[in-house]
Amino acid sequence: MEIVNRDFDLYLQAIQLQNERLLRELEEVRKLITEKPSEKIEVDQEFYTLEQCWRIKGGCSLNTFKANPLLRVGCGNPKYSHYIGGRLCFKKQDVLRWKTVEDGQDFLDYAQECGITVIPEKYLRLAQKAFKKSEVLV
């Protein structure tokens, strides 16, 4: 009878140790879940390079994008561009606005918003073509 009680006591101690270990782990999980967002370290990019902007929007080759300033953020207006470490970059808020612009009337409005007064004939034709397509789809 004494052997059975001793085995039972060992078994109970093992269960208690497991419970304590689980309780500690649960406490760590609770801390992670209840941690305030302001305490978390979050790094967000404030500037985007020309190549990153091209990846975000897509639609043409990188060489076309580099060669045609009107396709870039701010339609090539220098007030929208910055140089960081010698590389052409654009502010996050400008990139977010630019990536929603499509060819067509949207593009012409955006160019005017950016201060571009003269738009080459090639881009006017592309905008008109895109505008006609969007009318047909609607």
pLDDT tens for residues 61-70? 899 888 988 8
Q: Which of 86, 118, 111 is nearest to 97 (CA)?
A: 111
64: which residues sit within 8 A by CB, 6+ positions away? Answer: 71
User: What whole-number distance in Å separates Cα of residue 83 and Cα of residue 104?
Assistant: 30
SS3 content of the chain, % helix, strand, coil (to 5): 65, 10, 25
84: which residues sit within 8 A by CB, 6+ positions away? Answer: 47, 49
Q: Is 44 helix (H, G, I), strand (E, B) or coil?
A: coil
The pTM is what? 0.60
CB 75 within 8 A of CB 116: yes
Question: How confident is the prediction along the chain (138 residues), in pLDDT tens digits per residue?
Answer: 566 677 888 888 889 989 999 898 888 888 877 776 554 444 578 999 999 999 988 888 899 888 988 889 999 999 999 999 999 999 999 999 998 888 777 888 899 999 988 888 888 888 888 777 766 555
